[in-house]
A and B are shown apart, each in its own frame.
Chain A
Amino acid sequence: MSLYSLVWHELWHRKSQMISGLLAITLGIGVIVGIRSITVVSEKAVAVNLDNLGANVLILPQGASVDDYYSADIDAPTFPENYVERVVTSALPGVDNMSPKLTRRVKIKGQNVVLTGILPGSEIASKPIWQTAGLIGDELQVICAETNPANSSSGFKDERLQRKGIDSLGLYDCLAGSEAAKRTGLSEGIKFKIKGAEFNVAKILPETGTVDDDRIFAHLHTVQKLLGIKDQISAIEIMGCCNAISDGLLGKLRNILPDTRISTIGQIVSTQIQTNRLMNRVSLIFLIIIFFVGGVSIGNFMWANVNERRKEIGILLMIGAPKSSIYMIFLLKAAVLGFIGGVAGYIIGTITGLIAGQYLAGLAVRPVLIYFFWSILLSILISVFGSLIPAYLAAEIEPFTNLQEV
């Protein structure tokens, strides 16, 4: 036995008391880990997004919130699908491709998944990243066309759909993002049900590092029918040419579709970056707060513990333990408590982050392993710092005044 094993024995014999002493630190660490886990996904996504996302103008209904790009079109209000034709027939120069979408949260095999209805041909053509997956041929490579899109798409809606959609995506076929597939256990060729309709997994999409990874794509018209939102969509992505955007493409689109909200993805992403920055600042402030609140609360708990242990401290001093050992016993106890608080805080924060990220933003939040070490380190530091004074006072206790207490 080592003198320090007293710490384990005490902790083991008074578990519930120890846990309550840790509450403040655990919750504090939990909140930080939760916020950070979500922000990290968002940051990562923003970082890859501009290069990977093909379409660069987003048309959303008037009421949609664009604070969070990744959830902007989820469960947003809708507008009629024929807005697509309005843009097409207005023959705007610089509009290269359009993807109307309808996005809703659904449950697949008990998992929350974001289901996006797309018109396959146009959706795929506007996403260069997918083309490398061998889904479609070179002929669909997006170019900044000089041609007037109106010319090439008389009867746009059906013809395009027939020509390209059927090739890659049948009415009851779907494409699964890599993350969504992993979570729901889907693989290519498998059949599964969404709201009673049977779908076939035509393709698992390669990982893109974007929000698309956690979505399932199916045919727009099928999704509309399933959800009972006939002829309505929640967003249109437009591939615009860069020079067209500087030529005032947004203004022209606003004239055509006055009751929508039109922004470049660049604008939305920069809003997102601002949100992330805010979140970082919030977690920093929170960090400072828990350092003090957690430290004081642990210190307070430790002081109560020292008083409760006065008699035992007296016994140890009587047997010949030096003051420094008493001091170390309490600091070690603080470190062990800090460790437990850090582990618990990390677990609570990560689970909260996973649930909140999934439910609030449709983000596939993953546990950030490095935070595990930071949580423990931080929690131990707070706990030990908060306990310095109580531990010092414990070591200064005069043994005999306690030995005479019965």
Chain B
Amino acid sequence: MMLRVEKLSKQYLHADGPVNALQEITLNIEKGEFAVITGPSGSGKSTLLLTLGGLIKPSSGDILFKDQTIYHPSNNGLSDFRRLHIGFVMQNFSLIPYLSALKNVMIPLALQKTVKETQRKRATDLLESVGLKDRTNHLPRELSAGQQQRVAIARAMANNPSLLLADEPTGNLDPCLALEILELLKAFNVEKGITVIMVTHSPVAADFGTKRIHLKGGKLV
């Protein structure tokens, strides 16, 4: 079992009153699965995904990663968990604007204190695998939207994650580019056996999944 979610709830405190973004979610994700989280806007998809990745602390409930709670003190406020096991791909690409594509991909490796030459080699290989071999020294603003998202995927893969979390990765791309990105994610899922959890509201994207998680008003339906 890759991930086990137990009675997960998240309540945001807002000036207009508390928002129950997630209510007692319980689910399992198996290793090698391509899970898709769907649901209307505001149903809690992003909240669930970011909670699974250790970026949001739930109000109650637990998340077990390979049968161990991720809220273990040894995880150093979850940064160790993210650094070692998780790759994130966000809708807005989330690249550092003043770093080249290559350097962006090298950051997770730098965090793992990998030696410089290995960093460079691995980042170059990853960029090649997403089809950006000749764009390594470009800044994000010198790349198209589709290319930027490929860099983001290469970066998410850099730490060799067990779990790739993607929040509407094709939300800012036109359908044709979107398909390329989805195929790329699928390829990593199938060829490398990486477990993928993807939030999307596009039916086309949802069809790429092997498992569907549908949310409504913060609840599983």
Contact = CB atoms under 8 A, between A and B. Distances in A.
B59 to A, nearest CB: 14
Chain A contact surface mostly? helix
A6 B110 CA distance: 11
Contact of B55 (A1, A2, A403): A403
B94 A1 contact: no
A192 B109 CA distance: 68
B159 A320 contact: yes
A152 to B, nearest CB: 83
Given A2-B110, A3-B110, A318-B94, A400 B55 contact: yes
Contact of A404 (B46, B80, B96, B106): B46
Interface string A1-39: 111011001101110000000000000000000000000
Interface residues of A, number: 29
B99 A6 contact: yes
Given A1-B107, A3-B107, A319-B155, A403 B86 contact: no
A406 B91 contact: yes
B91 A317 contact: no
B195 to A, nearest CB: 17
A322 interface: yes
B111 A1 contact: no
A400 B92 CA distance: 13
A355 to B, nearest CB: 38
A6 B50 CA distance: 25
Interface string A294-321: 0000000000000000011011111111
A1 B91 CA distance: 26
A319 B103 contact: no
Contacts of A209: none
Given A1-B107, A322-B77, A312 B55 contact: no
Nearest to A309: B96
Most B C-beta atoms less than 10 A away, residue of A1, A311, A316: A1
A12 B103 CA distance: 15
A117 to B, nearest CB: 63
B96 A315 contact: yes
A323 interface: yes
Given A320-B79, A404-B46, A406-B172, 17 more contacts: A1-B116, A3-B107, A3-B111, A6-B107, A14-B98, A312-B97, A315-B94, A317-B79, A318-B88, A318-B90, A318-B94, A319-B111, A320-B82, A320-B159, A322-B77, A399-B55, A400-B55
14 contacts: A1-B109, A3-B107, A3-B111, A9-B99, A9-B103, A312-B96, A314-B94, A322-B80, A323-B79, A325-B111, A400-B55, A403-B50, A403-B167, A406-B92
Interface of A: 1-3, 5-6, 9-10, 12-14, 311-312, 314-323, 325, 399-400, 403-406
